[in-house]
Amino acid sequence: MLAFALILAGTIAALTAQQPNAARQAANQVAIDADDMGGVVTSANGPEAGVWVIAETTELPTKFRKIVVTDQAGRFVLPDLPKAGYRVWVRGYGLVDSGTVVAAPGEHLALVATVAPDAKAAAQYYPSNYWLSLMQAPPKSVFPIILPAQPGNAAAAPTIIESQARWVATIKGCEICHQMGNKATRELSPALGTFDSSLAAWDHRIQDGPGRRSDAAAGRQSGPRAHAVDFRRLERSHRGG
């Protein structure tokens, strides 16, 4: 029994040792020029297809970053890089950010991706446009939406959102100033304080910061207030009221 266990352990160790060697051989087969970096990305699951390989440097007059995507065999080429030292790392769906490798143009790289321990950990690295794509516009049937004037402003008139197209245009207008779908626009920081509801918290959130006036105006048209009115209308329609 002991002999069998030793043989099994030796076999596993040999196979494990072969994996980095195989990745290195695959990386060396990727054709590159003197101003490129190329190679292969693997993880515990084998070659990683469709993941981002990021090379960045601060050794140039301005911070420089180049990003490419691996092919079905996990191969990549970072082409036409200015001469500098680079930090190279891997990001992708189902992964957490890998450690960085220091490299220079002309090198072949066998990069190791880190598989996320669970779905929640993986989701922290999804790009902003993934989260933005989950946003659903209120159905056309609930328009026009009439939002009451803000309390305390007797001169203010109600806000009317005429159509779903207007709602979508307002959301897109937010992106003129800032990213949508990133952590700051989808989560509430505990530093904001304690509120009676998420609606109240978001009302407070969009009035913070240097863009508070425009954000608050957009929020009244497309943010939590609009959604709240939408939800109330849908609730009344389901109750027949």
Per residue in 187-202, pLDDT tens? 888 888 899 988 888 8
108-133 confidence digits (pLDDT tens): 999 999 999 999 999 999 989 899 88
Domain end marker among 99, 125, 151: 125
Instruction: Please report whether residue 5 resides in a domain.
Output: no
**Confidence band (pLDDT; 50, 70, 90) for 226?**
very low
Residue 2 lies in a domain: no
pTM assigned to the model: 0.66
Q: What is the pLDDT of residue 4?
A: 45
- Give the pLDDT band of residue 211 (cuts 50, 70, 90): low
- Cα–Cα distance, 202 to 176 (Å, whole number): 20
Supply the range of the domain harboring residue 23: 18-125
**Cis ω for the linkage preceding 148 (within 30 of 0):** no
Separation between Cα atoms, residue 127 and residue 97, nearest integer Å: 12
User: What is the percentage of the chain residues whose pLDDT exceeds 70?
Assistant: 76
Question: Could you say which of 125, 160, 176 is where a domain stops?
Answer: 125
Q: What is the reported pLDDT for 209?
A: 61
Residue 5 has pLDDT above 90, yes or no: no
- Same structural domain for residues 36 and 106? yes
Mark whether 22 and 92 lie in a shared domain: yes
- Structural tokens at position 46: 């084998």
Looking at the chain, the number of H-run helices and the number of E-run strands are 8, 12
Within this chain, do residues 133 and 234 fall inside the same structural domain, yes or no? yes
- Residues 160 and 204 reside in one and the same domain: yes
Of 107, 125, 143, the position where a domain reaches its end is 125
Into how many domains does the chain fold? 2
* 93 assigned to some structural domain: yes
Above 50 in pLDDT, residue 9? no
Rounded Cα distance between 54 and 66, Å, is 6
The per-residue pLDDT for 3 is 55
Number of neighbours of residue 161 by Cβ within 10 angstroms: 22
For residue 7, tell me if it sits in a domain.
Answer: no
48 and 98 fall within a common domain: yes
Note the Cα 205 to chain centre separation in Å. Answer: 21
Cα–Cα distance for residue pair 26/182, rounded to 1 Å? 36
What pLDDT was estimated at residue 149? 75
Query: Would you state the pLDDT for residue 20?
Result: 66
Statement: residue 68 has pLDDT above 90 = yes
What is the pLDDT at residue 214? 46
pLDDT at 227 over 50: no
Percentage of the chain surpassing pLDDT 90? 46
